[in-house]
Amino acid sequence: ITVGGAIASDVHGRDHPGAGSLARHVDALELLTADGEVRTVTPGTALFDATTGGLGLTGVILSATLRLKRVATPLISVSTERATDLDDLLARFTAVGDRPGGPQSYASAWIDLLARGRATGRGVLTQGEHAPLSVLPAHARRT
């Protein structure tokens, strides 16, 4: 997928509830429209709203200016918990924001839709946070 394709699909990651979809992080884009014009499109305009998530119907995105989150490493520290049933899974998912150290940036749950009886809704909760520089071996740290 290209950056233009990601914008046209208005993709999102596992931090969607907090960070929103990709459109929230686009400052401007250059759009080649069907009439051959190249237009600079910015948030707050009807053309921007129609283009982000518009699946290419407004034209071809030639370039984009994005606001990205600076992270110390390319790694994510991940924790995984098993939940015995749907009530347990929802309680664990709801408690994500109440963890020591504050809410995790990323959280998702997988539900076993084939489980029956007391195990109905059992699942796995996965949480993650950007790993600090200190977790990298000394030779891999940027200074």
Asked if pLDDT for residue 101 goes beyond 60, the answer is: no
| Sign of the alpha-carbon dihedral angle for 112, 115, 117, 123 | negative
Per domain, the residue ranges of the chain are 3-66, 76-140
Q: What is the pLDDT of residues 32-46, one digit of tens each?
A: 999 999 999 999 999
Residue 108, pLDDT above cutoff 60: yes
CB-neighbour burial class of residue 30 (10 A; exposed 0-12, middle 13-18, buried 19+): middle
Write down the pTM of the prediction.
0.75
pLDDT at residue number 100: 56
Per-residue model confidence (pLDDT) at position 68? 92
Domain range 3-66, CATH class: alpha beta
Does residue 95 sit in helix, strand or coil? helix
Residue 22 has pLDDT above 70, yes or no: yes
